[in-house]
Structure 1
Amino acid sequence: MPYTVKKVAGFLLVNLVDGNLAVHFSFLFFHWQNSVAPFYSRMDAFAAIAAAPISHPFSAHRESRRRLLSRCLSLGFTILYVNPTSSVEMKEPEIIRYKTLDSGVKVEELVEGQGSETHEGDTVQVNYVCRRSNGYFVHSSVDQFSGESKPVILSLGGNEVIQGLKDVLVGMRVGGKRRALIPPRLGYVNEKLKPMPDEFGPRRSLLSHAKEPLIFEVQLLKVF
């Protein structure tokens, strides 16, 4: 028989190198069928091997061929799965650039402002969105449906603003926008800290997540 087990294994091993498994596997499959039943058509030969009864005098021989063919098919498809073609391009993951402040707050610069720079002790006007660390919305000064904004005024002096947000705002310029991950110890450590919703429902929702890291997106509108 022109294709022995050793030749089949050697053929697969050699053709693992050049990456054209699909083409070579088809070539191997074609010759394998011809060697099994030269007087049958290709499809008839495959059917004859698969349907051979156990009581047939050549059934053991055909069974071994069928097992070998099954193993070749399994090997071929396994190789194709773990070694995809080079034509598929993998996209590089998006890298979010942020810096960690001395306080431990992680800050990402979304928009660099061009106006006046803030300093500790200034009074500022901002819009903000507060979310949980998993992205779920908590509260915002901008209505999520109408887009209407109600900017808040915060003092960067004293202790009326959560420390993490104060750290984010100091050094910003008007027109700038930042996103920050604020740890609980720099967040709402008491209920009097700002920014705080006026309505009972949003206030309760915000305070219920006070012991979690919170994400703030803040836009600096004005420095007084």
Structure 2
Amino acid sequence: MLSYGVSKSSSRVPHIVTFCCNNPHHPTTTHAESHSVVTRRALSLLATATASVFSVPVLVSSSSVRYLEAAAAASTPRFSELPESGGVKALDLRVGDGDYPVNGDQVAIHYYGRLAAKQGWRFDSTYDHKDETGEPIPFIFILGSGKVIAGIETAVRSMKVGGIRRVIIPPSQGYQNMDQEPVPPNFFDRQRLFTTIFNPTRLANGEGSTLGIIIFDIELVSLKHL
């Protein structure tokens, strides 16, 4: 099961000592300002990295800054566009060890859906759909049926059972009408989703290229050959 949240204590940044040029008790250097700028740049790169924990040394030299920049760049996740997907971009958070599904298979997925146009607003999550025992209920569909938005079908088709993938789905591969699945069971979430994606005023203003961008975290739980 996926877990979401941000830990305030999961990463630590070094204590940066700054020198005030107007204070006679502080040493001065002609490179202080430029070094501070480079240091802030390195910390910014580090903050955007998604490795679980970094242990960062005190930044005292340009070589340390270059090392941090390289480490941050190497650990930043890379999305790649799926072949023949119409622009769907994917990042594998965990690669599964099961089978690949094919058209006609019944697949079960858990998902966490967000809407980019609402600053990452979560419009639905299967982990909130519980059975009588309190277990989350996965979303089940037939791959290739056309009832599910194209971006999800494309993403699932190249996953293995047990895998978890984050996908960015452009409007052309997302919701084209209100009959496509998956949709939030909650009426108000469903209405908010559709009134954002299909907002006539914003579409008329040329915002169609961004309104329907959907971000899904998908876990391929199981598949069944029918």
Q: TM-score range by the shorter chain?
A: 0.5 to 0.7
Runs of 5+ consecutive residues of structure 2 not aligned to the other structure: 1-18, 37-59, 198-210
Partner residue in 2 for 1:170: 157
| C-alpha deviation, 1:78, in angstroms | 5.5
Q: Aligned runs of 1:1-224 on 2, under 5 Å?
A: 76=28, 79-83=31-35, 85-86=60-61, 89-90=64-65, 91=68, 92-93=71-72, 94-101=75-82, 102=84, 103-133=86-116, 134-143=119-128, 148-210=135-197, 211-224=211-224
Query: Following the alignment from structure 1 to structure 2, what is the Cα–Cα distance between the partners of residues 197 and 166?
Result: 18
Query: Following the alignment from structure 1 to structure 2, what is the Cα–Cα distance between the partners of residues 209 and 220?
Result: 28
| C-alpha deviation, 1:132, in angstroms | 2.2
State the one-letter code of the partner of 1:100. Answer: E
- TM-score w.r.t. length of structure 2: 0.59
Which structure's CA Rg is the greater one?
1
Percent identical among aligned pairs is 32
| C-alpha deviation, 1:197, in angstroms | 1.8
**Could you give the per-residue CA deviations for residues 67-118 of structure 1, whole angstroms, max 9, x where no partner exists?**
xxx8x99xx4553221354178333434212220222100111111111211
- TM-score w.r.t. length of structure 1: 0.60
Determine if contact 1:154/1:194 at 8 Å carries over to the other structure: no
Query: Following the alignment from structure 1 to structure 2, what is the Cα–Cα distance between the partners of residues 120 and 209?
Result: 31
Partner residue in 2 for 1:60: none
Query: Following the alignment from structure 2 to structure 1, what is the Cα–Cα distance between the partners of residues 31 and 96?
Result: 53
State the one-letter code of the partner of 2:139. Answer: V
Partner residue in 1 for 2:201: none
| C-alpha deviation, 1:215, in angstroms | 0.5
Runs of 5+ consecutive residues of structure 1 not aligned to the other structure: 1-21, 23-69
What secondary structure, in the 3-state scheme, does the structure 2 residue paired with 1:138 have?
Answer: strand
